[in-house]
Structure 1
Amino acid sequence: MAYGNYAYLFVDFPFGYKHKSIKAIIDKVIYVKTPLDICFARRLLRDFKDETSSSIKSMTEHYLNFGRSIFIDYENFVIQEVDLIVDGTLAINTNIEIIKNNLL
């Protein structure tokens, strides 16, 4: 099935096949598995570059006390029904090639 001028349509959307209202129109679910320490560091660099140390400390405490377990539960829930898992520590171009090779 083609989508307009494109053979593929990629959507960054949580839950994949677990989301019942769109499950029927999903052809493939690709999960980018990235260690939580890398996710955390990327978020710090992206969202907290201009924040105070107090703000960063507060967010870190919230993540350790509350958020981390939610991310772990989410991954365990979603990863049960995926078609492909790619390594989030690899270069983007490497993952693009892996995805292209698995879509053909």
Structure 2
Amino acid sequence: MNNRMKPQVIAIAGVSGGGKTTIAKYLHRKLKNSRILFFDDYDFDGVDDIIDWVNKGADYESWDLSPLIKDVDKLRHEPLNYIVLDYPFAYKNAKMSDVIDFTMFIDTPLDVAMARRMLRDFKSSSTATIMSEMENYISQGRMGYMEMLKSVKPNSDVVVDGMLSVSEITDKIMEAIKVG
């Protein structure tokens, strides 16, 4: 019989531009014997238009997260200590919540998250493209961010200030999951 403990699955949640990927990568480097999975590496079925999804009530069960769940399940059978997920929804999807042990929500001010996203995604874009994206954010995109704050943030184990340094946020996560 195998008495080996399964790895602890840690999900890093937050809004787009909130620091999930940066924190997940840094945490992965600090945790011994860990693997990392990124939500954005998957093409999920079920939701094509985020704003339409929010307008219809933001049903987190409408996301078919089975490819990510399958990969987490595979990793849970490997001799690992931790699986770090760059995953925005915390416990909001029932099937996904079954495989997560701990969630940390990075609470980044929306103006900072938007500025980070613009710097990350629109470096080579024209002024017209950037202006169009900003108009879209004001007219409808912000609703997606607000949905995260309303639903995902309170469904996380710990909320951490997204304005702290990467090392401070990571230290708080390690403290919360009791890594010495």
> 1:67: Cα distance to partner?
0.5
One-letter amino acid matched to 1:83: D
Partner of 1:72: 146
Q: 1:45 aligned to 93, 108, 119, which one?
A: 119
Using the alignment, how far apart are the partners of 2:110 and 2:167 within structure 1? 21
Q: Comparing both structures, which one devotes a greater share of its residues to strand?
A: 2
Number of aligned residue pairs: 104
Structure 2: gaps spanning 5 or more residues? 1-5, 8-75
One-letter amino acid matched to 2:147: D
Partner of 1:18: 92
Using the alignment, how far apart are the partners of 1:15 and 1:51 within structure 2? 29
Indicate the SS of the match to 2:94. coil
RMSD between superposed Cα atoms in Å: 1.3
> 1:18: Cα distance to partner?
1.2
Using the alignment, how far apart are the partners of 2:156 and 2:146 within structure 1? 16
> 1:72: Cα distance to partner?
0.6
**TM-score, normalised relative to structure 1:** 0.91
Are positions 1:90 and 2:157 aligned together? no
Using the alignment, how far apart are the partners of 1:65 and 1:11 within structure 2? 31
Indicate the SS of the match to 2:164. coil
Partner of 1:60: 134
> 1:14: Cα distance to partner?
2.4
Using the alignment, how far apart are the partners of 1:68 and 1:60 within structure 2? 10
Using the alignment, how far apart are the partners of 2:82 and 2:118 within structure 1? 32
One-letter amino acid matched to 2:148: Y
**TM-score, normalised relative to structure 2:** 0.54
> 1:5: Cα distance to partner?
4.4
Q: Comparing both structures, which one devotes a greater share of its residues to helix?
A: 1
One-letter amino acid matched to 1:69: M
Q: 2:109 aligned to 28, 35, 42, which one?
A: 35
> 1:59: Cα distance to partner?
0.4
Partner of 2:173: 99
Using the alignment, how far apart are the partners of 1:22 and 1:48 within structure 2? 31
State percent identity of aligned pairs: 32
